[in-house]
Amino acid sequence: MNSSRYPGFHRLSPEARLDRLVSDGWLEAPQAEALRRELEPLLDRFSENVVSGIRLPVGLVVNLVVNGRASVVPLATEEPSVVAACCKAAAVTSGAGGVQALSGERRIGAQVLFRTPLAPAEVQARLDELLPAFLRAVGARHPRLAAAGGGVQAVTFEPFNGRCPGAGAFLLLLDPADAMGANLATEIAEHFARVLEQHMPGEGLGGIVTNYPLGRPATATVRLPHECLAAEGRDGRCVCERVEALSRWAAIDEKRAVTHNKGIQNGIAGVLAALYQDWRAASAALDAHACRQGRISPLATWELTPDCLVGRFEGPIVCGMAGGTGPYRPTTEPFLKMMRVGSAGELEEMVAAVGLLQNLGALLAIATTGIMPSHRKLHERKAQDIG
């Protein structure tokens, strides 16, 4: 059996890595060539041991109106019907005034695990003493963040008591300004761990960002007159009733709620992936928000009123306009231009709106034609083109 040990593999170029894999029998030459064709010059700078890349289709969500402004939004996905369903839902809602969205409170947390012989009250006293100087140091180390009004907003200590005697976690609450903020949070946490060791007995065991949502969530709402949703021979109120029933199903059945929320994240993760942002962090935060009451709840709900179907999304949207890998991708700037967003808050609102529309598109399909007819058409087209 070939060994998978490759000392110094990271020092090779992507082409040299592929050559090694062929010479060692892991790949045939035509297979390596298939991987080589997907290489891009920048990819080796984004990750480690790179040998190829993958391409996701980026479709455009059109017909979109958010906060009274028309927009075109990129959505990266390999899944059939996602973009089509979102476009259909956007067309329905734009005729009723579009989606109203509100960004959340942009906060990100960082944690330091600390082991100390001090009692919690003594830890708090030491924390109160060292905090002013630490906050000044953070401002000096991150002047752009400070100039944008960001930085550490609060630091708290949670002792683990009997769960882990002698240890606890410090939580640093940060305003990341226009950045997503994960690397910033981790860097500040690691710095804070060193500061703690200088000011109190004990040992910092690690500092790291938390993907748990800590700020106020973003929201998106839409009000649709019943007649907007007439489809497939059913009057609008009948379709609205079916959509509301599907929404209630997700509220009472966790097995359905998981898939309900996955559909919402088809839209949210798709937009963030198109912008080369960390959609896994966004997904983790949304999952945590959905479970905040001890069970899985739907991220979007639909309620029938005497004259309207009212849809509402609520959840954290983890994104940013600064930092990360996105700005280095040549596609990011034109995508943001089409989206017409100029700040992280505006991006949050657009992504939240897409999440709500993706949910509406899925529920409309389930309530009328079913999901599979449109899936089947795209699969047949793909088979014809490839076969």
Q: Residues 92, 309: contact at Cβ < 8 Å?
A: no
Copy the structure tokens of residue 208: 């790291």
Known catalytic residue: 79? yes
Q: How many CB atoms lie within 10 A of CB 133?
A: 11
CB burial of residue 58 (10 Å; 0-12, 13-18, 19+):
middle
In the set 199, 254, 262, 303, the catalytic residue is 262
* Alpha-carbon distance values, 352 to 94, 222, 292 (Å): 16, 12, 19
In the set 79, 105, 128, 232, the catalytic residue is 79
Looking at residue 1, what DSSP letter applies? -
In the set 19, 190, 199, 375, the catalytic residue is 375
Going by C-alpha positions, the residue among 316, 146, 345 that lies closest to residue 215 is 316
Q: How many CA atoms lie within 13 A of 246 on its CB side?
A: 23
Q: Residues 192, 112: contact at Cβ < 8 Å?
A: yes
* Alpha-carbon distance values, 381 to 85, 209, 276, 376 (Å): 17, 44, 28, 9
The rounded Cα 64 to chain-centroid distance in angstroms is 20
Copy the structure tokens of residue 340: 């017409």
R_g over Cα of the chain: 24
Strand 100-102: give its sheet, edge to edge.
Answer: 100-102, 218-225, 308-315, 300-304
* Alpha-carbon distance values, 72 to 162, 201, 339, 350, 378 (Å): 53, 55, 5, 10, 22
Known catalytic residue: 262? yes
Taking the C-alpha atoms of residue 293 and residue 282, their distance in angstroms, rounded to an integer, is 19
Return phi, psi of residue 155, to 5°. -135, 130
Known catalytic residue: 142? no
In the set 278, 287, 346, 348, the catalytic residue is 278
Give helix 279-290 / helix 254-274 axis angle, nearest 10°: 150
Going by C-alpha positions, the residue among 249, 146, 241, 129 that lies closest to residue 195 is 129
Active site residues: 79, 262, 278, 375
